[in-house]
Amino acid sequence: MKFRTELSIVPNPNPISYEDPVMFIGSCFSQNMGLIMQKYKFNVTINPFGTIFNPISISKVLQSAIDKSYPSIDQLHHSQGIWVHPDYHSVLSSSDQNTTIVNIKTAIDLTHNNLRKAHYIFITLGTSYAYVLNDSKEVVSNCHKLPSSMFTKTLLPLQDSLEALNNVILRIQQFNPNVHIVITVSPVRHIKDGIIENQRSKARLIEVAHTLTENLQNVSYFPAYEWLMDDLRDYRFYSDDLIHPAQNAIQYIWEKFSDHYFNTQTLDVLKEVQDILNAGAHTLFQSNSAESIDFKKRYTEKIHRLVKKQPYLNFDQELDKFAHA
């Protein structure tokens, strides 16, 4: 007897190695997978503009990064003591106007450089609902708790989202011909929009994602949404808010992600990294005992052996702990 429908996909023909620069941008899946890869010492850039949910805003910030198109001070708004830009997350905001501009410019420069180098870019779409700034009629990324009268909420037309992402992906591919782009749809449920509305929103994103993969070269789809909604399909795999995936669901999707994108060589390095990280988290109660000294020496030597083979790995934090624990 079978009690659930399991989803399996074949390994990716272009696996990710530890040498490959990887960028994550968009909604929460990007944040979740990116942070796990970062923890395990992969070369990743995670949401330099903060989380972004709708496809048009994602396209806009990527376009600004390619063009190095910087905002001006007169585009900022003052909200609850800080200066904000509606196209960028509040993590880039400040109580000082110039600092906000500098933060955004720094994020644009970082993204520009990393787009040029990236072997993989994961773009996670969160919702088809967005807010339009009434003065400019522009779709924005964030309302920043500004007066609601400044915005109009809208369900983005499928064709507008498709056109925006198609255009920016073509620009990225011109900018970096070696990049592979992966579209994902976030399994986080935007039920503040309404349960029925959330399903309609996700349906548009899924259609956009598959149309892009069918029409463009080196663009693929990773089914994070389907793994949670159809494979796991149970509220025990959600956190207490019944909206975000629980930690065990994130771990499950990470295992599927690893199986799909990592070959045997990368998985072998990952196991060694995990072993070192576990050792670094180990508490040495008697740090001067012969056993503790041997433990620290053994793992210090293991780090040096691994870094000799994989020189792009950084274990400064772990080496410091083994030296001073």
Q: Quick one: pLDDT at residue 281?
A: 84
The per-residue pLDDT for range 11-61, each reduced to its tens digit, is 999 999 999 999 999 998 888 999 999 999 999 999 999 999 999 999 999
Write out the H or E segment, with its range, that includes residue 23.
Answer: strand 22-26
| Contact status, residue 269 vs residue 280, Cβ threshold 8 Å | no
> For residue 283, what pLDDT is reported?
65
pLDDT value, residue 325:
63
Q: What is the dihedral of CA 144, 145, 146, 148, to 10 degrees?
A: 120
Distances (CA, A) of 198 to 15, 79, 128, 207: 33, 28, 9, 14
Global pTM value: 0.94
- Cβ atoms of 209 and 128 within 8 Å: the answer is no
CATH 3.40.50 domain locations along the chain = 22-262
Segment 292-300 mean pLDDT:
88
- The pLDDT value recorded for residue 1 is 78
Which of the four pLDDT bands, split at 50, 70 and 90, describes residue 105?
A: very high
Q: Give mean pLDDT, residues 62-73.
A: 97
Mean pLDDT for the stretch of residues 63-67: 97
> pLDDT of 162-215, one tens digit each?
999 999 999 999 999 999 999 999 999 998 999 999 999 999 999 999 999 999
Position 290 scores a pLDDT of 82
Other beta carbons within 10 Å of 154: 14
Query: What is the residue-averaged pLDDT of the chain?
Result: 94
In this predicted structure, what is the pLDDT of residue 284? Answer: 62
**Cα distance between residue 297 and residue 97, in whole Å:** 50
pLDDT tens per residue across span 107-154: 999 999 999 999 999 999 999 999 999 999 999 999 999 999 999 999
Q: Cα(37)–Cα(20) distance, rounded to whole angstroms?
A: 12
- Provide CB contacts within 8 A for 59, sequence distance 6+: 164, 165, 167, 168
pLDDT for res 313? 94
Single-letter residue type at 269: V
> What's the confidence (pLDDT) of residue 286?
62
Looking at the predicted structure, is the pLDDT value of residue 263 above 60?
A: yes
Nearest to 201 by CA among 153, 256, 168: 153
Q: Identify the band that residue 221 occupies on the pLDDT scale cut at 50, 70 and 90.
A: very high
Right CATH for 22-262 from 3.40.50, 3.90.1210, 1.10.3680, 1.20.1250: 3.40.50
pLDDT for the residue numbered 321: 85
Is residue 285 scored above 60 in pLDDT? no
Of all residues in the chain, what percent are helix, strand and coil, respectively (each to 5)?
Answer: 50, 15, 35
pLDDT tens by residue, 233-255: 898 999 999 899 999 999 999 99
